[in-house]
Structure 1
């Protein structure tokens, strides 16, 4: 009998068991799901939310109809405000608005779009119908009612398509910020739009070197290339970080979704009070071809335009946006 050899063998066995356990934990953390539920088959939306107590400031996940995992966060108590983020970001881009409203008596909820942030990188349904249906799943799973839907950029298209597909039974108001509707792409019916070559170049650069592409895009996104612009390095860095959390396939396919989708009929179906808010120096989603057209398609839309403001207006003009959001949600917009 060799005690040292026996101790070494026992230690190796324990280490192996520990490594297996750690591997399982890491795999579970990577999916964002509890270990016991990873093999579960998709169920109905009402069964899929790991729902925290209202106002518990917890975070959780919901399983979409096709099995994709959708991450969301849920802060505060009170009237519900739901946020849909822009491309290629995630729900963290709304933190400045969410904190502000949560501190003023609202329940604020935001999710990471499929393929972005902490949601799973689904291979399918990376289009506006898929995004809108995921939003519907979040709303239904959490049984949200009388909610204000707020969408920025691609998220504005998501809000419009949600209403177009699912109606406004659970919606009290809508707010479109620097949003892509009615359609970005230049077509015979939309001659003021952006040519396909711009979006093809985005796909090419994204595929070739997405890290550098996001660093370059951030500058235009926040208007840091304008004389006198005061955009911090931290703001530019966080754009890169959020972009790098998106799956390459998801981000690539999303370009088609936000640029080629025609939301004209969706906008016409909006029958709740709606505010359209846009920066007049938006280099990503030009205001003339989007917000001003969208406002004409939405009955009774309230319009807000910020002179000299860029696409990333929720960050560069955070205080002003927050005040306008609060006033409109509370019915004090002055229009």
Structure 2
């Protein structure tokens, strides 16, 4: 297959022929945002705009099957998703990147680094990431039971709008407006149902314990202690313990959707970290 390339404005075409929509704002040291399961790059609006104004080049893209990107019906494993990140970074010739991954996107960023190296990526920000391992196994007894995964997949296949309506408020927290809740749900409802199904299986099949322990990049780990989607003790607390010299920042009372509930604090933390030598 031909190399990754920008084939039309705001679209990168990957080696396997998938078009990824991206937005590229500003100039300066680059920050690349990798979003949540089910949400497109629009989710980063309230990070990208202020950080662009602060002098950074902010890039975000829609995961395959999400937003304006292709819906290829394949490629929802972590290796392929990590290659998609590489397609965006390499096509835009970005260097000295601060790579920011939220929820599933956090796991994708780690796989990108372990698969593609650190020539272009200088530092990682992992926000409420689905790391190091979610599934319950004999050597991960506190993980999520398979019955929980199956129950969500049934909701996805039968009444995903109802599931979103019931879970959006716990996701975003009590102080986010109803308009923001509606915006988030509307974006999630546009995502390919097959992408949702396959990505959820990928999330719950991931085991990044060895990869995290081998990371050699400066890493900022951020999560709220009221996260009902990814419990802090199962995810970020363990992630920070595994990554050499990681910095863990816990937001008291924050839900999973910290990019909505604690926007100014999160932006300040990203700005400071991305400014470091």
**Does TM, normalized by the shorter one, top 0.5?**
yes
> Helix, strand or coil for the counterpart of 2:233?
helix
Counterpart of 2:217 in structure 1 is 272
Listed as ranges, the matches of 1:117-196 within 5 Å are 117-196=67-146
Counterpart of 2:36 in structure 1 is 86
Superposition deviation, residue 50 in structure 1: 4.1
Structure 2 unmatched runs, 5+? none
Listed as ranges, the matches of 1:224-243 within 5 Å are 229-243=174-188
Counterpart of 1:64 in structure 2 is 14
CA gap of 1:50–1:107, structure 2 versus 1, over 3 A, is farther
Inter-partner Cα distance in structure 1 for 2:214 and 2:84: 19
Superposition deviation, residue 140 in structure 1: 1.1
Aligned CA RMSD, in angstroms, stands at 1.3
Is residue 6 of structure 2 the alignment partner of residue 49 of structure 1?
yes
Counterpart of 1:260 in structure 2 is 205
> Helix, strand or coil for the counterpart of 1:156?
helix
What is the aligned length?
277
Greater RCO, CA 8 A, separation 6+: 2
CA deviation string 1:140-199 (max 9, x = no partner): 111111100000000101101111211111111100000011011111111111111111
Superposition deviation, residue 231 in structure 1: 2.3
Inter-partner Cα distance in structure 2 for 1:245 and 1:63: 21
Is residue 194 of structure 2 the alignment partner of residue 249 of structure 1?
yes
Residues 164, 265 of structure 1: 8 Å contact kept: no
With the length of structure 1 as denominator, give the TM-score of the two structures. Answer: 0.80
> Helix, strand or coil for the counterpart of 1:94?
helix
- Match for residue 255 of structure 2 among 298, 304, 310: 310
> Helix, strand or coil for the counterpart of 2:10?
strand
CA deviation string 1:285-325 (max 9, x = no partner): 11100101111111100110011100000111000101111
Inter-partner Cα distance in structure 2 for 1:96 and 1:231: 13
Runs of 4+ deviating beyond 4 Å: none
> Helix, strand or coil for the counterpart of 1:276?
strand
Greater Rg over alpha carbons, structure: 1
CA deviation string 1:197-234 (max 9, x = no partner): 111111100010122222222122113xxxxx222111
